[in-house]
Homo-oligomer: A and B are copies of this chain.
Amino acid sequence: MNTFILLFECHDQQGIVAKISALIFKYGGNIITADQYSSDVTSGHFFLRIEFFLDDRRTSKETLQEKLAPIAKKFKAQCAIYQKTKRMNAGILVSEPGHCLAEILYLWKTGELAMNIPFIISNFSGHQELAKQYKIPFYFIKATKENRREDELLKIIGGKTDFLILARYMLILSKNFLSSYKKDIINVHHGFLPSFKGMNPYQQALDKGVKIIGATSHFVTEGLDEGPIIAQAVEHVSHTDNLQSLIRKGKTLEKKVLVEAVHNYIDYRIIKYRNKTIVFSL
């Protein structure tokens, strides 16, 4: 028995769940959990995530995919099946500070984030030691605002990743980079989006005198800090907080939302739709 995840997405119509669950049943699969969501009750878009056991010595994933194809075609759906135990490859880009990097590496080491990390790229050489401890290839690329050296980044990335994690990477990735890389990029922003985009969000929060600060993980798109939001976390602050304490409290939030995003992503729980996300979280 193996565990698989099926994602299915189409214009909402009658009979989708019936058809798909019947198919899984027919080929000996047993549904563990099924999450579904319709973006609008009457004329919306439909999203389905099914996690199921399958004896893939009897019915292979490929066979099931073949059988699913006509259903997908009929409903004009996008559809995919993933093997849960097959680890995704997550490349990491990081500047300073390194708290998100350290958190991800620790959780990766202890098995909580079940993925591979083919490399760490940083424009700060200081993370070399940490990378070494975890035995992960480390590339120091001295990228700056003036010279982002994205060709070098892309060369290192090559075909090694399923997605990228920006664990506080402080340079904006260009439109060119995004269209070359094509796959998903998860960023953590140290502010409660859509407030406080861009630089120095904690200073912005301090200047505004907010009583709650936050952090946001989101997919990267061309617009700065404008991509679909995946997770947010907040913490109460008061007039006694200063920039230093906001940064300290914020770091905990940043780690939380980035880990939550990655955790859900590698479990195929996140679907992007029209600059928003559906997150079938545990």
Q: Is A262 an interface residue (CB 8 A)?
A: no
- A 62-78 contacts with B by CB, 8 A: none
When C-beta atoms are compared, the residue in chain B nearest to A24 turns out to be B18
Confirm or deny: A174 has a beta carbon within 8 angstroms of a beta carbon on chain B: no
Given contacts A229-B210, A277-B239, contact A34 B14 (CB under 8 A): no
Contact with A37, one of B209, B240, B256 (Cβ below 8 angstroms): B240
A11 at the interface (CB under 8 A from B): no
Contact B241 A282 (CB under 8 A): yes
Number of interface residues of A (CB under 8 A): 60
- Find out whether the CB atom of A229 lies under 8 angstroms from the CB atom of B211: yes
- Copy tally for this chain in the complex stands at 4
A179 within 8 A of B: no
Tell me which of A81-89, A156-164, A230-238 binds B. Answer: A230-238
Question: Which residue of B36, B193, B238, B281 is within 8 Å of A34 (Cβ)?
Answer: B36
> What is the interface of chain A, defined by CB distance below 8 A to chain B?
14-15, 17-18, 21-22, 24-25, 29-34, 36-38, 41, 97-99, 102, 106, 110, 112, 133, 192-196, 208-212, 214, 228-234, 236, 238-241, 245, 248, 252, 256, 275-279, 281-282
